[in-house]
Amino acid sequence: MQNDEKSAAHAGREADMSSANLRIQWLHRKIADNSYPNAKRLSERFGISHRQAQRDIFFLKNKLGAPLEYDYRRRGFYYASPFALPVAHIADNDENFSDVLAAASAEATEAPEVADRTVIQTQLPYTSVVRVEDKLAVLELQPYIKERNKDGTYLCEFHSIEKFMSAILALDADIRIIKPDWLRRRLIHSAERIIRNNKE
């Protein structure tokens, strides 16, 4: 009896993960095709709650590192830079984010038309871990710093990639982006372009 229950639970878990994978893949494909999908379309396509659709968007952006931006005119998401979905299996985000976006979900219940705006503005900041030794630079990064980690690095949150990168480039200090890798590569690319365009 116990084996049957375990098998059923395992099968259910695999089904949930498969469903989450399909939703993320669909969302990625629509964004890559410039179809500007949003949480409403995702929920309607897969018959899930609006809250779960918001979790999927959160997962794609913050856990998979997708450079998501929201287009208010088209009312949908797009990639601010080229992005490829990781080949590795996507984690079962259905279970791990039960309390994430609670505020957005509550607002969406009262006003569904602003749900996606709520997600991008208040619930879906990008995150980055940076190492900076200069105390003055730390002070100047305070608008982005959320906490200091035990290893001396800083956890930062930001809604605009461009503003955060500009803040880092403007600082007269040694700063290293520990993660995510895509943000470090983008910063390097920007710095190389600046150097290339300003060579004598």
What's the rounded mean pLDDT across residues 44-60? 88
Which of 123, 158, 181 marks a domain boundary?
A: 123
* pTM tops 0.75: no
- Write down the pLDDT at residue 83: 84
Instruction: Return the CATH number at 13.
Output: 1.10.10.10
pLDDT band at 153 (very low <50, low <70, confident <90, very high): very high
Residues 119, 156: one domain? no
What's the rounded mean pLDDT across residues 57-77? 88
Helix H or strand E encompassing 26: helix 2-32
Which two three-digit tokens encode residue 125?
A: 């900041």
pLDDT band at 197 (very low <50, low <70, confident <90, very high): confident
Residues 168, 73: one domain? no
Which of 65, 88, 123 marks a domain boundary?
A: 123
The boundaries of the domain holding residue 166 are 126-197
Residues 130, 180: one domain? yes
**Residue 87 DSSP SS3:** coil
The CA distance from 187 to 47, in Å, is: 39
- Write down the pLDDT at residue 114: 42
